[in-house]
Amino acid sequence: MQPPDEFGLIKRLFLPLTGGDPAALALADDVALIDGPAGRQWAITNDAIIAGVHFLPDDPADLIARKLVRVTLSDLAAKGATPKFLLLSAGFPKDSRLEWLDLFASGLKSDCGQFKVLLIGGDTVATPGPLTLSLTAIGEITRNAALLRSAARVGDNIWVSGSLGDSALGLRVAKGEVPDLTPQHADYLLERYRLPRPRLALGRALLGLAHAAMDVSDGLLADLGHICDCSHVGAEIQAASLPRSPSAAALFAMGGYDEVAILAGGGDDYELLFTAAPAADEAIDRLSVSLDLPLSRIGRITDVPGVTLLDPGGAAVRVARRGYQHFGVLAP
Ligand code: ADP
Ligand code: MG
């Protein structure tokens, strides 16, 4: 028997503990939603990051803190929620230096200011293992307004913000694997890996406009698979329409890269993937202009189960990688 992947594990181990409470969204969405006062809901999410998995052990301490804040707020952005509070659990290696810890706190402070969130609790421990951090973010949103993974409809167009693959390429830059790239492109890709930008303004603007939404953290195809599963639909994606930055294009032009695998399955993008009725196309194009953020129409929701990637001739494209798998089992 094939071992369960990360999501199989979550279903098997943790889903029974939700007691079927609707707040949990069946452990299949980016957040939990708890009813609050005055027609509001609290959107709550937790993310963990570990040295050597989500960032490089030698990355600057302030940037590690800021990446943690940003990947966590990205889940709130995906629902259209407004971040309010954070709780931090920090497992610092026993031999951490005070100077390093101060720099970590300065990064945290800077992003708490930028995103207008307050740190209201947490836990601090020493670990014999690598630096391990977990952040809970609490945001608020109008009751029943959140953009859910389960709300895609057949006939919707599929959109993605910004550009894909930059972060996966930035990791290669960080590892010194692409020495020939110009410093300008290298810096851009590196920043995309180290400092993702939670698309909070976009998420809020999509309320009432989009149907389903989620943030792309594991890889476009794997994550779109979650929207399809939750919404009981399928999807077709045009490989040629996947948005790439000028820096990614410059790197691809050097040759030796499986472009589609990186764009469609690279991971760590923290862009928003959303679906909307074709009638919303013009409003979304206008939103792209007003937010100064590219929004690309990359495919459509169908009634055929599964996520299919198509080449310009309409033939299915096979990809080596559909997304990051923590337990090493590739998504179907
Ligand atoms: P995301 O990538 O958006 O952060 P994940 O893929 O990590 O989401 O998780 C999918 C779902 O499973 C979420 O609803 C999350 O809250 C839930 N989940 C993941 N790990 C656990 C856990 N250890 N206990 C309870 N719920 C979990
Ligand atoms: Mg998410």
Ligand 1 in reach of 269 Cβ (< 6 A): no
Q: What is the pLDDT of residue 324?
A: 75
* CA distance to 17, 188, 200, 239, 265, per residue, from 222 (Å): 25, 25, 22, 15, 7
Contact 275, 226 (CB under 8 A): no
Question: What residues does 47 pair with on adjacent strands?
Answer: 135
Instruction: Label residue 218 by pLDDT band (50, 70, 90).
Output: very high
215: Cα separation from own chain's centroid: 4
Q: Looking at the chain, which runs of residues are DSSP E strands?
A: 32-35, 40-50, 82-93, 118-127, 132-142, 157-161, 213-216, 234-238, 271-276, 295-302, 306-310
CA distances from 126 to 1, 90, 95, 256 (A): 38, 8, 9, 42
Most ligand 1 atoms within 8 A of CB, residue of 12, 27, 135, 224 to mutate: 27
To the question of pTM greater than 0.85 for the whole model, the response is yes
pLDDT surpasses 80 at 99: yes
Question: What are 152-183's pLDDT values in tens digits?
Answer: 999 999 999 999 999 999 999 999 998 899 99
Region of poorest pLDDT, from 14-23, 75-84, 153-162, 177-186: 177-186
DSSP state of 163: -
Contact at 8 Å (CB) between 164 and 220?
yes
pLDDT of residue 330: 38
DSSP per-residue letters across 214-271: EEESS-HHHHHHHHHHHHT-EEEEEGGGS---HHHHHHHHTS---HHHHHHH-----E
Average pLDDT rounded to a whole number, residues 254-278: 95
Lowest mean pLDDT among 208-217, 267-276, 317-326: 317-326
195 lines ligand 1 (CB under 6 A): no
- Using CB atoms within 10 Å of the CB of residue 27, give its burial: 0 to 12 exposed, 13 to 18 middle, 19+ buried: middle
Q: How far is CA 37 from the centre of its chain?
A: 29
User: What pLDDT shows up at residue 332?
Assistant: 41
Please determine, for residue 94, whether its predicted confidence score (pLDDT) is greater than 70.
yes
Q: What local confidence, expressed as pLDDT, does residue 331 receive?
A: 43
Average pLDDT over residues 124-133: 97
Q: What is the mean pLDDT of residues 229-243?
A: 98
Average pLDDT taken over every residue of the chain = 95
Is there a contact between 64 and 50 (Cβ–Cβ < 8 Å)? no
Which residue's entry shows tokens 């110009």?
Answer: 182
Q: Is the pLDDT of residue 319 over 90?
A: no
pLDDT at 321: 75
Distance 23 CA to ligand 1 centre (A): 13
Considering every ligand atom shown, identify the ligand nearest to the alpha carbon of residue 25 and give its number: 1
Is there a contact between 56 and 69 (Cβ–Cβ < 8 Å)? no
Ligand 1 contacts CB of residue 62 (under 6 A): no
Distance CA 32, CA 22 (A): 9
Mean pLDDT across the stretch 70-79?
98
Distance, CA of 211 to CA of 230 (rounded, Å): 13
Q: Decide if pLDDT at 25 tops 60.
A: yes
Under DSSP, the state recorded for 52 is T
Could you tell me the pLDDT band of residue 320, with boundaries at 50, 70 and 90? confident
What's the confidence (pLDDT) of residue 174? Answer: 93
| Rounded average pLDDT over 186-198 | 97
- pLDDT tens per residue across span 271-309: 999 999 999 999 999 999 999 999 999 999 999 999 999
Instruction: Kindly state the average pLDDT of the residues 192-220.
Output: 97
